[in-house]
Structure 1
Amino acid sequence: MADPRAFISFDFDHNEESRMLFVGQCKNSSTPFSVQDWSSKSALPQAVWESSISGKIGKCNLLIVLVGKTMASATGVAKEIAMAKAQNVPYFGVYVDGADSNSTLPTGLARNRTIKWTWAGVATAITQMMGEGKNKV
């Protein structure tokens, strides 16, 4: 698989540790894919955040949403999904931190595009995303 650029969307206030674990595992040599994390690593003023994040998402092949239990309060995640959609960047979700199919999803993320955190499942979803949206050849 090519080296896709992925923007990792997550609840900055509640799922930072999951983001670090997810990205760290992606760098593990036994993981069946490679992802570059272009997500913001610090809180930014709103206007700077929107401009910076929209630009980063537009430069990515896909957006991966880490879906924790507190997604209802993660308004930035819903904005990032909307930015991806507006720029034809395909996206999918991965349940983290005990979230599951009964957990609230952020606005714009479909349940049938949200998966359990298994590397085989994530690899399959990334392969699918590389054939969708702006990645279509």
Structure 2
Amino acid sequence: MAKPRAFISFDFDYNKTDRDLFVGQMKNSKTPFEIEDWSSKHKLPQKEWENLINQKINKCNMLIVLVGKYTHNATGVKKEITFSHNNNVPVFGIYIDGATKTTELPSGLQRNRTINWEWHQISEKIDLCMNEGKNK
């Protein structure tokens, strides 16, 4: 089976370092899965960003939202979640940067699909996503 493709959604203004750490750990640790990161690596003009990101998300198996303390205010994250729903791409979130179960979530991200940064839980969510939405 091919590696799952994931779009990593994060608050570019506050959590770029957390995103880099997450992807680095994912690639360099002994995680129980392999995954490709298709997220945008730099800022783009709005219209170009929307078209590119929607296309990328549509080509992915899942959207992983890194949820920090201010992610609920990130308009880009909200749009990425909307693109994901529109393309039938499963979504789950991971608390980062001190965020907890009481942290406000971005619109469209469910609390019961948001977990702590623990690799066994992440692996379980990836397995779940690979049997949902467009992956059925």
Aligned residue pairs: how many? 136
Q: Tell me which stretches of 4 or more aligned residues in structure 1 moved more than 2 Å.
A: none
Secondary structure of the residue aligned to 1:27 is helix
- Partners of 2:108 and 2:128 in 1: CA distance: 18
Extract unaligned runs of 5+ from structure 2: none
Alignment partner, residue 6 of structure 2: 6
Structure 1 residue 83: Cα displacement: 0.2
After the TM superposition, which of the residue ranges 71-80 and 122-131 deviates more from structure 2?
A: 71-80
| Residue 102 to residue 23, structure 1, CA distance change in 2 (3 Å) | same
Alignment partner, residue 66 of structure 1: 66
Q: TM-score, normalised by structure 1?
A: 0.96
Alignment partner, residue 33 of structure 2: 33
Secondary structure of the residue aligned to 1:76 is helix
Secondary structure of the residue aligned to 2:19 is helix
Q: TM-score, normalised by structure 2?
A: 0.97
Structure 1 residue 2: Cα displacement: 4.4
Structure 1 residue 71: Cα displacement: 1.6
1:32 partner letter: P
Residue identity (%): 60
Secondary structure of the residue aligned to 2:28 is coil
Extract unaligned runs of 5+ from structure 1: none
